[in-house]
Structure 1
Amino acid sequence: MPSRRHVLAGGGLALAGVAGGLQFVDRPISPGATTETDWPMARYDPAGTGHNPAASGPKDGVDVAWQRDRESPMHGLAAPILVGETLYVVGRGSLVAFDRTTGEIRFARDGRYWSTPARAKARAYRHDTLAVSGREGIRGVSAGGGYAAFGRSVGTERWHSHGGEVRRWSSSSPREPSPVTADGTVYGVVPDTDRVVALDASSGRVLWERTVGDERSIGSNRPAVRDGTVYVSSRPGDVVAFDAETGDTRWSVRPDPHADSALNYRHFGPATATDAGLVVPEQEGVVLLDRADGSLQWEYVYDGNATDGSAAVADGTVFVTDGAESLHAIDLESGEREWIADYGPDTDPVVADGVVYLGYQISELVAIDAETGDRRWTYEDSTYFTQPIVGDGALYVLTGEGLLALEEAS
């Protein structure tokens, strides 16, 4: 069996892709059993914890296992997902499936895809559904890829919900909130709106649709789903809990800014649902809300300016960046600080096997010890990094040079 490691040349990564002799394999993927180390959606699970207790990644150093790109680069900001033996990546409007072990491209489909996909079981199909957002709505795509015939995709897209004319134009890649899937239902934010929608994963049928916040809102975040409730935060300052089945509002709150805040509202990021409560990061700190009624349980304030990113929660600790040079570890029960580590950008931490992993668009990929805050390793051999995901001993991240798989240094 050939080694998984590939030769690096010229001080950089020599891309091994279609142009380098790897044949493009355009075929549907056979259904395969999922594994404990899957990472099936953005932030790992419907609750948005960013933590898979069964997964592990490189801890003390990294080697490149493989790196792949298409003939047309996959530049984008969406994190990959892992289902069984397949990695799915959205970049520059395309959906590409890779073999997790070799990096072989299994299929590539062009379309109006922009967010990280979310995998859901589909009753009426042989293959699962991947729900993905874009500027023109939420789409359901076959995880098997369908077929490519005469330059066109056949059987790839299953449904398209809430499509419409795009109201804005930008030369940059959009960053629509990624959908969430739970129990055969897709929960997502309708692009360019403050409406959250529940869709049947097989048919795309609208089960319910509700508005979050009011006319002052400038965007809703990725939903968090736990124990039959959908939690959605928005900017500025609303957090709403909906019944996952009916869409009925269970509670809606707009907490006042903390006493020393220079803002007159809270700029909330995506919520994370935990047993202890609802963790919601904001521009100047983090709050824990009671999941039963939205009441404030504790508030952690930092001297920062976090306008992006989300909180990861693992083993009773909240991990969040403050947008001003630091990663904070906070006790989930008490809201007390455990440690602070130097880390500049605002981003989305993920956690596996006692290590916090952080990637940033134009900087570096780092691993930080979850217990002490000590930096374990740094990887900088790329122009940018998306949010990474963790599998069975490997770390996967989309970079400026393609999809990258990193393993423990030999």
Structure 2
Amino acid sequence: MALVAVLLALGGAAPARRGLTPVLSVDEPVTSAELGAGSLFLATPKEVRRYALPAGTRDWTTPSELSVQNLWVDEVAGVVLVLAAGDGDSLTALDARSGRELWTRPAGDTLVISLSRGGLLTQTGFGEVARLTLNDSRTGQERWSREVDPAGFLGPDDMYEGRSSMIVAVGATGSVVVLSYTDGSVLADGVLDLNLQTTTDRSVPANFTSVSVVGDRLYLSRRVLGRASLAAYSVRPLAELWRAEGGPTGTVTDCGPVLCVADTRWVTGVDPAGGAVRWEQTAWGVAYRYDGHRLFAYDNQEDARAALLDAASGRVLRPLGQSRQLGDLILRTDGSRTFVTVPDPATGDLRTVGSMVDAAWFRCQAGGDYLVCPTLRGDTAVWQVN
């Protein structure tokens, strides 16, 4: 095992150099890596470690008798959750400061949805009957547990990051229940008129239904016998607000001044107040909000190209080539080199802060002022973004 830690310092009181600075490289098999609390939490098949950043020094190491598969970090509660496999899967919580074990339990048929704000949300069972459970992340004690039908939809997206105050579950026959993330109480319920169909290739079939939740609105996109519609509902209570006929169908996402409706073939911007089409971009298959007035979009090529679009008009502002968005960062690859760009507050444009060679850019993660990426050479490296 080779461990290299590099810290470029200009003296105790000197400011950090602007750019992209390598601070750590771990040259051995890594199964999972997470950034948080100014540290890198890293798993090899047989142990979990914490490295201080930007120093790159190892704070602690906790061995595992089972093969470590994945890590999650709850900065607020100071917990590292470890999924390990062997004679049956297990979940183990470690104290983030010391690496000490807090609790462990079997994890067969368990999906970790989120670890955040002192709570661990999991799902057991799949299909039309599943159980959601929220446990205290430090003690493992159950806070609440409830059966739901998530066959049609389980969200919103913020739930998977632990940032949502509610959980929305939609069953295959249209039953809807809205739960409090904190205590599992029922905030609202109702029934949607739908018949969910899915396809393995992500294309949109002739009869199609999609449920999306954006903010405090639920959107039902349908195509039935060639007739398309998009309906908006308030979540609490579940009540229809408007319905637009004949427009696009697909998944609905927040795109600032518009809602983006994408079916993987093209993306359409619609008015959030009534569903009227504002613009249509047939060259781009999907788009997401980048900031208050720009969207990050991918095209439909096998090696997808990206661009920044104007949210209000759908106009292309800046082609980005083969790129990936990580929060405010945009990673753009050109051959073996990956360029890291950030928003420039002075100009509003993008500024390149540095580049990485042989980084597996499609597997990078960002957290705080750091970027962690496996490389094509086999090591896992961390850079500080200033």
TM-score class, shorter: 0.5 to 0.7
Partner of 1:316: 293
Is residue 2:227 matched to residue 1:250?
no
- State the partner residue of 1:28: none
Amino acid at match of 1:224: V
Q: 2:367 aligns with which of 349, 370, 391?
A: 391
Instruction: Tell me, yes or no, if structure 1 residue 277 matches structure 2 residue 258.
Output: yes
What is aligned with 1:139? 132
Q: 1: distance between equivalents of 2:63 and 2:223?
A: 36
From the two aligned structures, give the one with the greater strand fraction.
2
Report the counterpart of residue 158 of structure 1 in structure 2. 144
| 1:9/1:285 CA distance change after superposition, 3 Å | same
Q: Structure 2: how far apart are the matches of 1:379 and 1:235? A: 46
Q: Take 1:105 and 1:255, find their aligned partners in 2: how far apart are those partners? A: 56
1:294 match: 275
Q: Is the counterpart of residue 408 in structure 1 residue 384 in structure 2?
A: yes
Matched, 1:327 2:306: yes
Gaps in structure 1 of 5+ consecutive residues: 25-57, 121-126, 148-154, 168-174, 258-265
Confirm whether residue 230 of structure 1 aligns to residue 204 of structure 2.
no
Q: Deviations over 1:239-291 (max 9, x none)?
A: 4322121111112345445xxxxxxxx4x2341263x1222333232222222
AA matched with 1:242: Y
Residues 369 and 86 from structure 1, CA distance in 2 versus in 1: closer, same or farther, beyond 3 angstroms? same
Q: Which runs of 5+ in 2 are unaligned?
A: 8-22, 33-41, 200-208, 344-348
Distance (whole Å) between structure 1 residues aligned to residue 91 and residue 68 of structure 2: 12
- Distance in structure 2 (CA, Å) of the matches to 1:195 and 1:379: 50
8 Å contact from structure 1 (residues 198, 208) kept in 2:
yes
Q: Which residue of 2 aligns with 1:200?
A: 180
Distance change (3 Å), C-alpha of 1:69 and 1:328: farther
Q: Compared with structure 1, are the counterparts of its residues 179 and 383 closer, same or farther at alpha carbon in structure 2 (3 Å cutoff)?
A: closer
C-alpha distance in 2, partners of 1:105/1:384? Answer: 32
Matches of 1:409 and 1:337 in 2, distance apart? Answer: 27
1:299-321 superposed Cα distances (whole Å, 9 cap, x missing partner): 2221x6x4xx7623314110022
**Pairwise CA distance, 1:142:** 1.7
Instruction: Kindly report which structure 2 residues correspond to 1:91-130, keeping only aligned pairs within 5 A, or say none.
Output: 110-114=107-111, 116-117=113-114, 119=116, 127-128=118-119, 130=121
Q: For the residues of structure 2 that align with 1:380 and 1:69, how far apart are their CA atoms? A: 30
Secondary structure of 2:145's counterpart equals strand
Alignment partners' CA distance in 1, 2:353 and 2:290: 19
Equivalence map 1:168-187=2 (5 Å): 180-181=158-159, 184-187=165-168
Tell me, in whole angstroms, the C-alpha distance in 2 between the residues paired with 1:278 and 1:368. 26
CA distance in 2, matches of 1:69, 1:224: 41
2:219 touches 2:252 (CA, 8 Å); kept in 1?
A: no
Structure 1 letter corresponding to 2:213: P
Which residue matches 1:220?
A: 210
Q: Which residue of 2 aligns with 1:151?
A: none
Aligned partners of 1:224 and 1:273 also within 8 Å: no
Per-residue displacement from partner, 1:88-138 (whole Å, max 9, x unpaired)? 688998766677789888666525444642757xxxxxx546365862535
Partner-residue secondary structure (3-state), 1:328: strand
- 2:346 matched to which residue of 1? none
- TM-score for the superposition, normalised by structure 1: 0.56
Amino acid at match of 1:135: F
* Residues 129 and 9 of structure 1, relative CA distance in 2, 3 Å threshold: closer
RMSD of equivalent CA atoms: 5.3
Is the 8 Å Cα contact of residues 158 and 164 (structure 2) preserved in structure 1?
A: no
AA aligned to 2:69 is M
Q: Deviation digits for residues 351-391 of structure 1, max 9, x if unmatched?
A: 22xx22599xxx999745553597954576669738x4x43
**How far apart, CA to CA, are the structure 2 residues paired with 1:398 and 1:157?**
37
Q: Is the 8 A contact 1:223 1:231 kept in 2?
A: yes
Kindly tell me the number of residue pairs found equivalent between the two proteins: 318
The AA in structure 2 aligned to 1:230 is L
| Structure 2 CA distance for partners of 1:159 and 1:286, relative to 1, 3 Å | same
How does the TM-score come out when normalised to structure 2? 0.59
